[in-house]
Copies of this chain bind each other. A is one copy, B any other.
Amino acid sequence: MGTEYLKIKEAKEAKKIIDNLFNELYKIKCEEILLENSYYRITYDNIKSSIAIPPFNKSLKDGFAVKAKDTFGASDDNPKTFKIIDTVEAGSFSEKTLKNGEAIEISTGAPVPKGSDAIAMVEYSEKVQDGPESEVAIYKSVSPSQDIAKKGSDIEKNKPLISAKTKLSPVKIGVLSAQGLNKVKVYKKLEISVISTGNELLTQEDTINYGKIYDINTNTIKNSVISCGCEAKVQGIIKDNYNKLRNKIETSLKTSDIVITSGGTSAGVGDVLKDVIEDIGEVIIHGISIKPGKPTLIGKVNGKLVIGLPGNPVGAIIVFNVFIAPNLRKLVGLNPAAKNKKIRVKLSKRIHSSKGRVQYLLIEIKDNKAYPILKDSGAINALSYAEGYIKVPKSVELIDADEIVEAYLF
């Protein structure tokens, strides 16, 4: 009994191996999705304008399209009179071409008719007669181009609009909507299967019975995967049974890019996951010299990663955040460092650490200080107020109160 880690690695080395594995096995992929559903997705390409905005010379006011020079000299005392030959509202257009002395009644947003080069605002006009032969008196002269937004004056055709790797906010989605873009190319989400293992685990639908505990890792890892912009496929709880675990991993690999399990990497009664991965692929790392999180397994099966996180929920979260999350975020176009945001804060009190392996301590942030939550590493309670963690290097045995430490926030 007791677990033997045959491929144990130092934290730094493990990180390098895992990063390299991700680089080697996974390429960034894109997919086309409906623009309207693209909230917070990441653009894959630089997007150029495909149409000019506005797409036509557009009236900026309600009034009358005229030839500007016909209005020159108009004033309250000396209005100029125009024959109204047509009316054009937003969404329609006039087929007529305007000649000297003619006006076309026009709404904001409507295309400026041929032959006219300015809009005389309705506020400085007065219709003389209604009906087909009506006229309008203009009381103020307008200059050429007045109150017209020229075609392309907002956005020219074929100009850079949104660059690749942009997070699509409502406003950016609006910019692309103006282009009539129905679909947009975005970074494809990785599909990740999540499996919990352990004879002692119950789902939240089960009634508790003696000796069993509720599974935590399915929900934390599923939602951690989501927080990395990936898609999680919950595969349920598997007993510590070689065949069941092997079957579940093999079927999960068929429909996902990565399989993440938890538990089963340091069981006293055996090490089922290690045996399965040895038989269907290759165990790359078995054990990382960190606390908590030592019983971690990294395996490669048919060109895909199988990641065995510790069963201990705190260890599982630390290992996921430190070693896995940055790689996932990179592959879906997110800033790898935005999660686990690093801040520098004072430590609230002296802490001791075990020399020889990197230690991660859950912390709470209060009054701009990091308060270590000194509980045994499996403590769920600690998680309810943990806001992040600090990393104690393996050579450090002691950090004094008020020393500055680097904290990583969840």
* Contact across chains for A173 and B384 when beta carbons are under 8 A apart: no
**B residues near A13, Cβ cutoff 8 Å:** none
> Which of B56, B60, B202, B381 makes the CB contact (< 8 A) with A180?
B202
* Contact across chains for A218 and B36 when beta carbons are under 8 A apart: yes
Given the interface pairs A56-B210, A208-B180, A210-B56, the reply to whether A91 lies near B199 with Cβ below 8 Å is yes
A245 to chain B, nearest CB (A): 15
CA distance A359 to B226 in the complex (A): 39
| Contact mask for chain A residues 118-138; partner B; CB cutoff 8 A; 1 contact, 0 none | 000011000000000000000
A contact face: mostly helix, strand, loop, or mixed: loop
**List of B residues within 8 angstroms of A72 by Cβ:** none
Distance in Å from the Cβ of A409 to the closest Cβ of chain B? 10
Q: How far does the alpha carbon of A220 sit from the alpha carbon of B36 in the complex, in Å?
A: 9
With most chain B CB atoms within 10 A of its CB, the pick from A173, A204, A378 is: A204
**A204: nearest chain-B partner, CB-CB:** B182
Question: A381, B53: Cβ atoms under 8 Å?
Answer: yes
A405 within 8 A of B: no
Q: How far is the CA of A60 from the CA of B92 in the complex (A)?
A: 77
Q: Which of A76-92 contact B (CB under 8 A)?
A: 88-92
Whose C-beta in chain B lies nearest to the C-beta of A123?
Answer: B2
Cα distance, A376 to B267, chains bound together (Å): 67
Number of copies of this protein chain within its complex? 2
A211 to chain B: closest residue by CB: B93
> A215 touching B177 by the CB < 8 A rule?
yes
Interface residues on A, range: 35 or more
A173's contact among B149, B213, B219, by CB below 8 Å, is which?
A: B219
In the assembled complex, which residues on chain B have CB atoms less than 8 Å from the CB atom of A161?
Answer: 384
A403 interface residue, CB < 8 Å from B?
A: no
Check B51 against A267 for contact (C-beta < 8 Å): no
In the complex, per-residue mask of A372-397: 1 if CB is within 8 Å of any chain B CB, else 0: 00011011110110100000000000
Beyond A90-B267, A154-B380, A182-B204, list 14 extra A-B contacts (CB 8 Å).
A35-B219, A36-B204, A36-B218, A90-B198, A91-B200, A91-B201, A92-B199, A93-B211, A107-B267, A108-B267, A170-B221, A174-B216, A174-B220, A177-B214
